A and B are shown apart, each in its own frame.
Chain A
Amino acid sequence: MSDEQDVITSIKSPSYLKYNFTAGAAPARFLTQIKKGVLTGQRCPKCSAVYSPPRGSCAACGVPTEEEVVLSNKATVQSFTIVSIPIPNNPIEPPYVIANLVPDGSNISFIHLLSECVNAEVHIGQRVTAVWKPEAEWDYAMDNIRYFTPIDEPDVPVDKIGKLPVTGWEG
């Protein structure tokens, strides 16, 4: 043993913990439909707002969301950002667009990717539609929808975003 020892200034202590995750009941219903290629929301029995994806409750009313509502594949851009750094564990190449999208028939937005678009032309109120992965790849996962892409429909005015029916928007 040498007389002079290096001072220890840090240790690396790897941490491994195993968890058996379950989805909540409401997310499980949503994911079961997504596995079949159907985008759904759930309606609050008190205020009638439709949540997609459902999180278990209508947060405004504090009650479980119940009635399942099939939504359209079309959605509106509520807001967005162009991201230049990679998402951990996601293969997508920067720069890419992440947007808050409200599918027709829903009243809240969720975050998803926009692609097959000109980043500089993405704007609030833009109409987009879901592009799904091939059916053989569908799982209990939101990324069955690979991304959303712009469609040729008139923009939605800001005050109507989040209020469109499932039948869509003519302009």
Chain B
Amino acid sequence: MRDIAIVAYQQTDSVSDAGAVNEVELIMPVLQRVYKQVGLKSAQDVDFVCSGSCDYLQGAAFAFVAGVDALAAVPPIKESHVEMDAAWALYEAILKIRMEQADSALIYGFAKSSPGELPIVLSQQLDPYYLAPLWVDSISLAAMQARLMLDRGLITERDMAEVVSRSRRNAMNNPHAQLSGDISIEDILAEETYLSPLRKADCSPISDGASAMVIATVEKAKEWGLPYAVISGIDHCIETHNLGMRDLTDSASTRIAANRAGMNNGVVDVAELYAPFSHQEIILSRALGLDKHTVINPSGGVLAGNLMMASGLSRIGEVFNRIVSGEASRGVAHATSGPCLQHNMVTVLEKAGDA
């Protein structure tokens, strides 16, 4: 099976409201930057394009079609789309490369979450007969999960605040971060709860933005002469939709995906985990069995800025950045979808081997 290399990654700033910017205007700048990083002129210069987005975030059916206007798709291109985080678009692109219908691919994800009330919008992801009519928003579901953790003595509020404090501090090194700064655990604990037991700080913000990545076979990456990281394993796994039928204090599917992706075949220097709520970072790092050696969310994670439909791809991009910079030799990136970590993807990245 062909080895896959990540050769470029770019992200827009994560902002609370991108303002008068439509989908194509949101995407074009980040695509231009990722082309420049590789030395390409347009999507014509890669063999396949795949994107991830969700119409309901913008409130317009076919919002993703507007994205095609950013690609210079004349003459026509090989292009596809998933109504999921772009991490899954990356997955589709890897299949394409491995079946040898492409040697390179452009992947991008984008969303404007600001137009709608995101937690309420996400309630409509739920079972349409039994759950969606209850309009249980995504924060309330996460809050119930956090309550389970606390009541079972698996975490403390201090543990949650520690995740927030560390994320915000790490985000000070992330030029794209939306929320960053030095905020102490005590300051966080002093805040009133928002949706008990969650404080506002325990929840990722609402963000607008986009991210893009270029991947290729290792041969192609060498041909382009670009620094690259190898995807040595990638897998994803979904669990039952019924919240009462799975252990919400654990993430079994993340563990399964990590095992199948070969995460434990080596040391994990860095892990970027898609944890939209502080307690979920703890669930994920335990499910992955991460120890003190692993730096978790050096980018600040999504608590610092949550680009819906692009954050999963961004976690992979952040690990890629740290590998090509030499900061890490091996890392893991996690993406999630659905309520309370129902569907999880784990990608293992390694530094380029010797030529």
Q: Does A26 contact B (CB under 8 A)?
A: yes
Q: How far is the CA of A60 from the CA of B116 in the complex (A)?
A: 31
Q: How far is the CA of A64 from the CA of B133 in the complex (A)?
A: 42
Q: Does A61 contact B (CB under 8 A)?
A: yes
Complex contact A20–B73 (CB within 8 A): no
Closest to B42 in A: A62
- Tell me which residues across on chain B come within 8 A of A27, comparing CB atoms: 22
Given known contacts A57-B24, A64-B25, A19 and B72 CB-to-CB distance under 8 angstroms: no
- Tell me which residues across on chain B come within 8 A of A160, comparing CB atoms: none
Residue contacts A-B, CB under 8 angstroms, 30 given: A13-B132, A13-B133, A15-B124, A17-B120, A18-B116, A19-B58, A21-B115, A22-B19, A24-B24, A25-B21, A26-B25, A27-B22, A55-B66, A55-B69, A56-B22, A56-B69, A57-B25, A57-B28, A57-B69, A57-B70, A59-B68, A59-B72, A60-B74, A62-B69, A62-B70, A62-B71, A62-B72, A63-B28, A63-B72, A64-B25
Complex contact A23–B69 (CB within 8 A): no
Per-residue 0/1 for B116-142: is the Cβ within 8 Å of any A Cβ (1 yes, 0 no)?
110011001000110011000000000
Complex contact B69–A59 (CB within 8 A): yes
- Tell me which residues across on chain B come within 8 A of A20, comparing CB atoms: 114-116
Closest to B58 in A: A19
Quote the shortest CB–CB distance from A140 to chain B (angstroms).
12
Quote the shortest CB–CB distance from B304 to chain A (angstroms).
24
- Tell me which residues across on chain B come within 8 A of A98, comparing CB atoms: none
- Tell me which residues across on chain A come within 8 A of B117, comparing CB atoms: 17-18
Complex contact A17–B28 (CB within 8 A): no
Among A28, A59, A63, A64, contact of B20 (Cβ-Cβ < 8 Å) = A28
Q: Does B229 contact A (CB under 8 A)?
A: no
Complex contact A62–B28 (CB within 8 A): yes
Instruction: Count A-side interface residues using an 8 Å CB cutoff.
Output: 24
Q: How far is the CA of A113 from the CA of B19 in the complex (A)?
A: 31
Given known contacts A56-B69, A62-B28, A23 and B74 CB-to-CB distance under 8 angstroms: no
Complex contact A24–B116 (CB within 8 A): no
Quote the shortest CB–CB distance from A62 to chain B (angstroms).
3
Q: How far is the CA of A17 from the CA of B70 in the complex (A)?
A: 28
Quote the shortest CB–CB distance from B125 to chain A (angstroms).
13
Q: How far is the CA of A28 from the CA of B56 in the complex (A)?
A: 22
Per-residue 0/1 for A1-42: is the Cβ within 8 Å of any B Cβ (1 yes, 0 no)?
000000000010101011111111111100000000000000
Complex contact B73–A59 (CB within 8 A): yes
Q: Does B43 contact A (CB under 8 A)?
A: yes
- Tell me which residues across on chain B come within 8 A of A11, comparing CB atoms: 129, 133
Among A21, A22, A55, A60, contact of B24 (Cβ-Cβ < 8 Å) = A55
Q: How far is the CA of A61 from the CA of B66 in the complex (A)?
A: 14
- Tell me which residues across on chain A come within 8 A of B71, comparing CB atoms: 62
Complex contact B22–A24 (CB within 8 A): yes
In B30-52, the 8 Å CB interface with A consists of 31, 42-43
Closest to A28 in B: B20
Q: How far is the CA of A27 from the CA of B20 in the complex (A)?
A: 9
- Tell me which residues across on chain B come within 8 A of A22, comparing CB atoms: 19-22, 115
Complex contact A24–B21 (CB within 8 A): yes
Closest to B56 in A: A17
| Extra 11 A-B pairs, beta carbons < 8 Å, given A55-B22, A62-B31 | A17-B120, A17-B121, A19-B59, A20-B114, A22-B21, A24-B20, A27-B22, A55-B66, A57-B28, A60-B72, A62-B69
Residue among A11, A17, A25, A55 with the highest chain B CB neighbour number at 10 A: A17
- Tell me which residues across on chain A come within 8 A of B31, comparing CB atoms: 62
